[in-house]
Amino acid sequence: MDFFLMFQNDFQSMFLESYLCVALMILLVYGVIYSTSSKYSYPVLIKSVAWMCALSMVYGLFILFNTPTESKSILNSLAIHDDIAQFGKGIVLFSSISCLLISMRYFSSDRINFFEYGILILLATVGMLTIISSYDIMTMYLAIEFQSLCLYVLAAFKRNSLLSAEAGLKYFILGAFSSGILLFGMSMIYGFTGHTGFEEIGSVLNSHIENSIVSSGVILGIIFIGAGLLFKVYAVPFHVWVPDVYEGSPTAVTSFFAIVPSISVLILLMRLYHSVFFDYISYWQPIFVACSVLSMLVGSFGALGQQKIKRLIAYSAIGHVGFVLVAFATGTPEGLSSILIYSIIYIIMNLNFFSVLLSLRKQDDGQEVEFLEDLSGLYRKNAGLAASLGVVFFSMAGIPPLAGFFSKLYVFLSAIHVSLYFPVMVGIVASVVSAVYYLRVIRIIYFKQPVSWYSFEVVDKVKAFYISVTMFILMFFFIYSSPILILVHKIGILMSL
């Protein structure tokens, strides 16, 4: 009885995760029973289950916004509920809902009829919500592994594709290796502090910072934990799997990889390194600066020779992570605010891009576009989609006055404030180089004659809505950006306390 009394006040704070788990079980039972029912002629349930998963997450957003936000640890300090967690969970839920909605038509076109897709997206989302709330290294590890297992299956979801199977296998093998690195770092922290809770670890580190033996073991643990988590956000030198997984996965799954998982790991990194490990910033800051510089350079120069759309976006993602890590290395509230605003704008840009990419399916044979050359003369076939791609690529390149320019500007200003001039200079060079391949795509869209003429399928209403709204935000962000800037500044200050 005493065991349950410990958690009697935690139910309200963890009601969102509890509700989603119950919804998962109901939807899984529904899918298993009806998809194997001869009475109903073995119906294809992927769309209906995906819609119900999206609806469950919409209700989850409603629950989240009606949950009190007072900061408190829950589940005997295994997790925490605060403004930071609520903010991150809102972004994750919105992004997951959006990825499900824009991918509805993809599966019928590609004849993928497995209802488990929506279930896996919802499972991965629950894992991400748990990562954001983690306040103990054991909770953190289990949540990361829970999310990763779902992502491995999603990467190999297209069972009749050799590339998809290869992507899933590569992701699984390298993901298992990174998990081992992460677990080793956690064992070092536990071995030298005797605690697994974030708050207790922080207290021990503050009191033993002068102890050289403890400090040396803790520093090693901090480095290994950082390496394990940097793998999850595609940072160099832990990036080798990203282009292959992006290319091999179904496009709908690639959109999910590009948009959703990184934000939860970034918030976890901020909790750990800007709170628990902050006293050791002189040791971990150079590592993150080096990773940021390498990520920007590899992302920018690696994309120059790419001919396939998804590989180009993979290297673009690596480059964008480099900019985020520059802000992370500052160790200031301004840097944390820059990370959040950059992540939000990056999500919006990717939502726009993948809404367009998932709409570009050839009408004659139903094949999706794969190479950059397939975009030749797009403005003549669909001027609206061409304009949207133009806006999103200009924004990714950081051309003012689009939103992407301001995201990079805030990162550079936060880095200059703490005299991190070298990564800023590298970032400027990387931005110039990246502009080359972004403008190359725009040149193909507007000025290159297509080798063969084909038309694309009509854009459905859901994707048209997302394309219109995200394009509007990217173009007019500078007019009324104060509310979001105030919100992320508040979150940045809270994370630094």
Q: Domain for residue 130, yes or no?
A: no
pTM: 0.93
Q: Domain for residue 164, yes or no?
A: no
Q: Which residues contact 108 (CB under 8 A, 6 or more apart)?
A: 46, 47
Compute the CA torsion angle 311, 313, 316, 321 (nearest 10 deg): -100
CB of 15 closer than 8 Å to CB of 67: yes
Q: Residue 361: helix, strand or coil by DSSP?
A: strand
Supply the pLDDT for residue 305: 86
Q: Domain for residue 446, yes or no?
A: yes
Q: Domain for residue 449, yes or no?
A: yes
What is the DSSP track for 157-182? --TT-HHHHHHHHHHHHHHHHHHHHH
Supply the pLDDT for residue 2: 55
Supply the pLDDT for residue 36: 73
Domain assignment of residue 462, given as a range: 295-497
Per-position pLDDT tens, the chain of length 497: 455 555 556 677 788 999 999 999 999 988 888 777 766 666 667 788 889 999 999 999 999 988 877 777 788 888 888 888 899 999 999 999 999 999 888 877 666 777 888 899 999 999 999 999 999 999 999 999 999 999 999 998 887 788 888 889 999 999 999 999 999 999 999 988 888 888 889 888 887 666 666 678 889 999 999 999 999 999 988 888 999 999 988 889 999 999 999 999 999 999 999 888 888 888 999 999 999 999 999 999 999 989 999 999 999 999 999 999 999 999 899 999 999 999 999 999 999 999 999 988 876 666 788 888 888 888 888 888 999 999 999 999 999 899 999 999 999 999 999 999 999 999 999 999 999 999 999 999 988 887 766 677 788 899 999 999 999 999 999 888 888 888 888 888 887 76
Closest alpha carbon to 166 in 64, 157, 115: 157
Q: Domain for residue 313, yes or no?
A: yes
Q: Domain for residue 478, yes or no?
A: yes
Q: Which residues contact 137 (CB under 8 A, 6 or more apart)?
A: 186, 189, 190, 196, 197, 198, 201
- Torsions phi, psi for 284 (to 5 deg): -90, -20
- The most distant pair of C-alpha atoms in the chain lies apart, rounded to whole Å, by 74
Q: Which residues contact 106 (CB under 8 A, 6 or more apart)?
A: 112, 250, 251, 252, 358
Question: How distant, in Å, are the alpha carbons of 62, 85, 115, 121, 292 from that of 73?
Answer: 22, 11, 36, 27, 32
Supply the pLDDT for residue 4: 52
Q: Domain for residue 300, yes or no?
A: yes
Q: Domain for residue 336, yes or no?
A: yes
Supply the pLDDT for residue 1: 46
**How many independent structural domains does the chain possess?**
1
Q: Dig out the tokens for 311 from the structure.
A: 């590989």
